[in-house]
Amino acid sequence: MNTGRIPSVTVIGSKRAQIGATNCVVGEAAEGYVLRAILTTQAAPLAVLEGPEGRLVFASEEGAEVALHPRLEGANTEGFDAEFFERLLEADEDVLGEQVLAAGEPSYQAVAAMLPRVVDDTFVGDPRVGERAIVHPDGSIEGMLEPLTELPWEELKTRGRWGIVATSLPLPIMRIELEDGALAEQIVAAAVGADGNLQVFIRRRHVEGESERVEYLARPEQEQPPSEAEFYGAVLRAWRQAREFEQRLMRMEGGDEELTALALSSMQMADLTMRGCRPRYGVGPYDEPRHDGFPPTTLHLALCLLEWGDFARAEDVLGCYLDAFVNADGTFNYYGPAVAEYGQMLALVARYVELTGDLRWWTARQNVLRAVWTRLLELRRASLADEGAPPEARGLIAGLPEADYHGDEEQWRQYYFAGDAWVCRGLTEMARLLRRTGQAAEADAITTEVEAYKADLAATIAEAKVETAGGVFVPPGPTQRTPFDHLTEDRHSSYCNYRYFAEMVSAGIVDEETVRQILGYRRSRGGELLGMTRFSDHLDDWPVMNYARAMIETGDVERYLLLLYSHLAQHQVVGWLAAPEQVRIVPDEHGLRRKHAGQVVPCQVTAPLMLRWVLAYELRDEEVLLVAPAVAHWWLTQGEGLRVNGLPTRWEEVDLALRGNDTSVEIRLSLPDGFPAEARVRIPSPPGHAPREVQVNGRSAENLADEGRVVLVPPGTGGEVVIAGTF
């Protein structure tokens, strides 16, 4: 079969086309392609062809308009025994992570091989309606369809492969290799029917020898099965929706193209999780109204959209939360809001305004937000005046660190440094925004209070640290000073590891030495597996973006990349990319790793958000842009290297191009005239090497840092800056 060239096509009628020189009706083949359907509702009729390895081609007489190449993966269940997992759970160090890092720069393939993959559910839907259909890993579809085959899991785990119809189109496909070369395959798509309800279309294909049987199925309540044209029309509409989504984002090409495509598909799935602009924490177990107000759904998705440049969608998502879930007294309409989430929401609002310049939006929302920051300032003042508060907590804000603690009355009165750190960050950003919009007096008043708050917090943290034989233990709060021997030794230590320490180090308020102490303690006390977050005997990564932020700010590049690839390969469902809140470490009785909790938005956006920060990251309290702070050197050796256009920053957009080989790297940074910030350009280097010579615009570089790995481009620079490094 021809695996490269796509033959010419001439549409003859609603069921017939000429493929190359051969006239075919639907179901017949020529030149290695099967004619699957004719789509006559398009501006120009399209023939749908299926070629080698299941490639779907939508072609007109002008040529191929869309070509979809399926990507599938297996469960990787062989070679792991009970002793292997016992060793992982008992280890204080990240055994697997260290193995990956010792082999060089991380990659998807390296990380994917380290554990059995997560085999579990995914979903399909259409952004125009709220319903989603859940697809199970045996091919069954919840409430409507039985499994694709009758194979037991003991066989399915080795015969099955799961994936998406293209790396940039996350419609689920699965294939099962049967006896004697037979094959069973399923693709699921969704659309909106004439009645405004979700329609689910399924194609099942069975191959045995030279015989092929293709079925097009629908859910029972749909009046009749779809025609082949309706099924492929739904696939084409999904592809167009995906393209529209990507066209709203900054453009990234080259590098690890598979990583980019999978990360953006994951981002599409996060956006599809929502009900329009209304938050939905997850599809499946978390699809209940009581979870809609959980702030991190909005915090994570809106931040990811902003960082990638989709300002309009970010405005929809953020504005909806402010309209529907912020009460008049400045509290959130949710059963267990964490103190940190209030500061995070203020910081997100500031980020929206500084990237978009949308002062009209800010003016319209200001009163709602003033209630939030006024309440936080009142809580700080009340704590300063509270003579009954623990002396070591004077001036700090008590309150929930996590919704799961909402049933414990004592936790509503407990103190956590993470909450204070993020309140300080949120108030700092509000003061800057007020000053920018001409409200200097209020900005100065807030700044005066928050500077005193930060000083109190820093002093309390410094006094609370405990020296241990394994390093400095930084407690999660001023009244919780007993060190954890292991960060999964009990429920509370697991919560601290998964969230409270993470949010403490991500606010940019705690000093760098303390951040490094927290990260070091986590890594030496059983807090990580492949860089991901351990929680008891499973993994829970929904807040892990906070650790990622701390790693970018402290320059821990290798571990940052390890976490990026690990989350995508080992915390998301194999092939299908659905991102559960929690996943198991130890396989079930069939040898399969499964989800421990349902799919959620924060885990779904972790990979795309981390990928965005790989390219550029803005220091929050300095006029500094980190350029290529975590780009892997091996990415630059792929094809034409890596190119980024329209990368948004709080100053202006910038463009970036990098390429290299084993002995040299070239970076082209395009800055607007008079760019007001310093650009700190990191030169991606082969492991164990630093540049021996660096030039900037053809001259020997003078302003270098980090042993020559970082070029300092001063404020006021404009135009193209060309940096060349040799090793």
Q: Distance (Å, rounded) from C-alpha 274 to C-alpha 283?
A: 9
CA angle 605, 608, 612 (to 5 degrees): 135
What mean pLDDT comes out for the span 315-334? 98
Name which of 680, 437, 708, 580 is nearest 134 in CA terms.
580
What is residue 70's predicted lDDT score, i.e. its pLDDT?
98
- pLDDT above 80 for 262: yes
Amino acid 1: pLDDT: 32
Residue 697 has pLDDT above 80, yes or no: yes
Q: Is 507's pLDDT higher than 90?
A: yes
User: So what's the pLDDT on residue 152?
Assistant: 96
What pLDDT is recorded for position 44? 86
**Which helix H or strand E contains 17, and what residues bound it?**
strand 16-19
Whole-number percent of the chain with pLDDT over 90: 96
pLDDT at 2: 37
**Residue 146 clears pLDDT 80, i.e. is over it:** yes
pLDDT of residue 445: 98
Strands 678-682 and 624-627: parallel
Instruction: Return the closest-CA partner of residue 613 out of 78, 250, 313, 125.
Output: 250
Q: pLDDT band at 4, cuts 50/70/90? A: low
pTM comes to 0.97
Write the single-letter amino acid at 496: C
Give the closest residue to 361 by CA, choosing from 373, 349, 344, 372: 349
Task: Report DSSP state, residue 179.
Answer: G
- The mean pLDDT value for 546-572 works out to 98
Question: Across the chain, what does the average pLDDT equal?
Answer: 96
Is beta strand 466-468 parallel, antiparallel or unpaired with respect to 122-125?
Answer: unpaired
Q: Is the pLDDT of residue 3 over 80?
A: no
Please compute the mean of the pLDDT values over residues 595-608 and round it to a whole number. 98
Contact assessment for residue 692 and residue 661, using Cβ atoms and an 8 Å cutoff: no
For the chain, how are helix, strand and coil distributed in percent, rounded to 5? 40, 25, 35
Tell whether the model's pLDDT for residue 367 goes beyond 70. yes
Q: Which residue has the tokens 């409270």?
A: 500
Note the pLDDT tens digit of each residue in 147-202: 999 999 999 999 999 999 999 999 999 999 999 999 999 999 999 998 999 999 99
Q: What is the spatial distance between Cα 635 and Cα 326, in angstroms, rounded to a whole number? A: 43
Compute, in degrees rounded to 10, the torsion defined by CA atoms 601, 604, 607, 608: -70
Q: Long-range contacts of range 41-44, CB-CB < 8 Å, 24 or more positions apart?
A: 41/229, 41/233
> In whole angstroms, what separates CA 563 from the centre of its chain?
11
Give 216's strand partners: 203
Q: 508-539 pLDDT, tens per residue?
A: 999 999 999 999 999 999 999 999 999 999 99
Q: What are phi and psi of 495, to 5 degrees?
A: -65, -40
